[in-house]
Structure 1
Amino acid sequence: MGIGSEEAIRQLRALVDQVDERLKCTFQNVHQGYLTETLERFLKAREWNVSKAHKMLVDCLNWRVDNAIDMMLTKPILPVDVYRAVRDSQLIGLSGYSREGLPVFAIGVGLSTFDKASVNYYVQSHIQINEYRDRIILPSASKKYGQPITTCVKVLDMTGLKLSALSQIKLLTIISTIDDLNYPEKTNTYFIVNVPYIFSSCWKVVKPLLQERTRKKIQVLSGSGRDELLKIMDYSSLPHFCKREGSGSSRHSSDGAENCYSLDHSFHQQLYNHIKEQAVQESSRPIKQGSVHVSLPEPGAEGTEIARTIELELHKYGNANGKSNGLSNSLGSLKI
């Protein structure tokens, strides 16, 4: 870290020391004792502009207070059938750790349907996983590996990506915006695997729209990416859809215990049990059913432009392949 970086962190820390006690309390849940690394993340997200990083951080802390994000891990999604439906349609899980100790999150981009629950449930689930990652998984990894571990690795499986993805773009843009504004720079590297032609077509036009620091994090791998991923993690930490040669994947692995998307996987069992235990500790009253409503951000200029570009490219792909029928209906379903 250079002298300029150290000075920027010092200035930002001095500004953060001036916020009111409500914001200081929630900030503790954000930095988890790794204050310098947290300030550095917000500075990176704003190209080391102290004033912009300060505004971003204060906005994030206000968002957390206004939406009771600190209590999110005390709000289980009930009944369990609803949570299972969310897990079956929002495919994400923790498959293991890199050799450096970074958690490896697997995300089934192509096979996620987001059609089994309301938007609020999917947003709630996503934020809960973020909070569990930041407040439980990363501190535990830091302790185990004896060094600050404040970021993760994500492996994005594009198997099954179709034109119907149009119906998911707005929700995915909202979730991405929540991450960009409130959980910046939490992903060290994005590995994209099992890439179909439709993704390759979109990637060519989307890539130039991304900020340089984001482009540098993204690696599009050949096939399932197994050989490349084995350079940074053991076989046991590979997502189930990478434990094969070539490309192609499925929602489920041959060994159900390995399917980190499933509610039956140890990660989701531990997460769900943790939330239920926290809920009982926080309240003596019966736990209410229903989703938690969080204020949804308006996508920024970059996110909006990327979403629009993806829509246009999918239109072109559909028209070129004689599959444009129904696209207008898909676009019409982009309502929150």
Structure 2
Amino acid sequence: MVIITQEIIKQFHTLMEEIDEPLKNTFKNIHQGYPTETLVRFLKARDGNVAKAHQMLVDSLNWRIQNGIDKILAKPIIPADLYRAVRDSQLVGMSGYSKEGLPIIAVGVGLSTYDKASIHYYIQSHIQMNEYRDRVILPSATKQYGRHISTCVKILDMTGLKLSALNQIKLLTAISTIDDLNYPEKTDTYYIVNVPYIFSACWKVVRPLLQERTRKKVQVLAGSGRDELLKIMDYSSLPHFCKREGSGSSRHSRNGTNDDCFSLDHAFHQQLYSYVKHQAELMEPTTPIKQGSFHVDFPEPNPADAKIAETLQSEFQRLGIQNGLSNSPDNVNISID
């Protein structure tokens, strides 16, 4: 376990005082008034090595400047029908808060198809939710609960996971790498629910490849995880796919109501979309909002992430052959270069 001492933090602060002014300005959007806590996150991500944590943070700040990340919350995905298509195929939402005030982020891993828009729109949408979480949701929770809140809880729904998920590995690896390099240590715990056999088999080979600090954050729950999750959150904050007592299913519980936290009609997405449009109007009040995706440079995956992606691909293919699915459209051979 890495111990972050005051001396290490002091060294990091000293290095950050020497960076250029543009980097200092974008750093403010990251730390939101809590620079020390932010430095600690990057230190944890680099096992307490000050030089590596500093390089990681500087690289992240340069990435933000080069890709205009500070302005991404003023770049709405339009028209609304396109954004709805993104939401219907990239199943992510916020269902409420834990009893400790941490935002509950729900992810429909198994039923996300990522087939309604270009990869750039999905990357843009993901980063916007990250930035909205960090610049709006977490500061609001900090104020409401009277203590600094900088992390969230993620509940990953594996309902519907199948071999065609191979088609998504390149995109998911890009998203994972962006998070690893630029939003480290933002998730307190990952709860995995509605687990099919294919996930259980893959988890056995992937788990040993994860860093120890990541493994400790992951909890695989039985069925929909309802009873276990109610220990840390109220019923109203449960994602819709966890509200069934048994093996919950987002396929059957996505009923078009406001309870569906993945839907554009859910309060979280309505507030997020309204916020982004409003920021766009404030930035350029006399200029019509242009349609088009917000292109972001995809960082090269680190060797550990690349190894995990390759292992997943190999395991999915093995399962397909084992089950006589070698000619199935779900058994797709893709490149993750």
TM-score of the superposed pair, with normalisation by structure 2? 0.96
Report the CA distance between 1:294 and its aligned residue: 0.4
Q: 1:171 to 1:255 in 2, by over 3 A?
A: closer
Note if contact 2:224-2:247 (Cα within 8 Å) is conserved in structure 1. Answer: yes
Please name the residue that 2:112 is paired with. Answer: 112
Q: State the alpha-carbon separation in 2 of the partners of residues 208 and 176 from structure 1.
A: 18
Write the deviation string for residues 232-274 of structure 1: whole angstroms up to 9, x where unpaired. Answer: 0000000000001121302444471110000000000000000
Report the CA distance between 1:37 and its aligned residue: 1.1
Amino acid at match of 1:249: S
SS of 2:333 mapped into structure 1: helix
Note if contact 2:78-2:292 (Cα within 8 Å) is conserved in structure 1. Answer: yes
SS of 2:258 mapped into structure 1: helix
1:27 correspondence with 2:22: no
Q: 1:264 to 1:3 in 2, by over 3 A?
A: closer
Q: State the alpha-carbon separation in 2 of the partners of residues 45 and 37 from structure 1.
A: 13
Taking the TM superposition and a 5 Å limit, the aligned residue runs for 1:1-336 are: 5-251=5-251, 252-254=253-255, 256-283=257-284, 284-326=286-328, 330-332=332-334
Amino acid at match of 1:256: T
Note if contact 1:315-1:327 (Cα within 8 Å) is conserved in structure 2. Answer: no
Gaps of 5+ in 1: none
Report the CA distance between 1:328 and its aligned residue: 9.3
Amino acid at match of 2:321: N
Amino acid at match of 2:265: D
Q: State the alpha-carbon separation in 2 of the partners of residues 39 and 333 from structure 1.
A: 36
SS of 2:24 mapped into structure 1: helix
Q: State the alpha-carbon separation in 2 of the partners of residues 273 and 326 from structure 1.
A: 42
**Segment of structure 1 superposing worse, 40-49 or 242-251:** 242-251
**Segment of structure 1 superposing worse, 141-150 or 320-329:** 320-329
Q: State the alpha-carbon separation in 2 of the partners of residues 4 and 169 from structure 1.
A: 34
Note if contact 2:73-2:131 (Cα within 8 Å) is conserved in structure 1. Answer: yes
SS of 1:159 mapped into structure 2: coil
Report the CA distance between 1:5 and its aligned residue: 1.6
Q: Cα RMSD between the aligned structures?
A: 1.7
Q: State the alpha-carbon separation in 2 of the partners of residues 177 and 319 from structure 1.
A: 29
Note if contact 1:167-1:333 (Cα within 8 Å) is conserved in structure 2. Answer: no
**Segment of structure 1 superposing worse, 244-253 or 167-176:** 244-253
Amino acid at match of 2:15: L
TM-score of the superposed pair, with normalisation by structure 1? 0.97
Amino acid at match of 2:271: Q
Gaps of 5+ in 2: none
Percent of counterpart pairs with the same letter? 68
Note if contact 1:167-1:334 (Cα within 8 Å) is conserved in structure 2. Answer: no
Report the CA distance between 1:17 and its aligned residue: 1.1
Query: How many residues are paired up?
Result: 335
Amino acid at match of 2:91: L
Q: 1:205 to 1:130 in 2, by over 3 A?
A: same
Q: State the alpha-carbon separation in 2 of the partners of residues 302 and 327 from structure 1.
A: 29
Note if contact 1:94-1:105 (Cα within 8 Å) is conserved in structure 2. Answer: yes
Note if contact 2:194-2:224 (Cα within 8 Å) is conserved in structure 1. Answer: yes
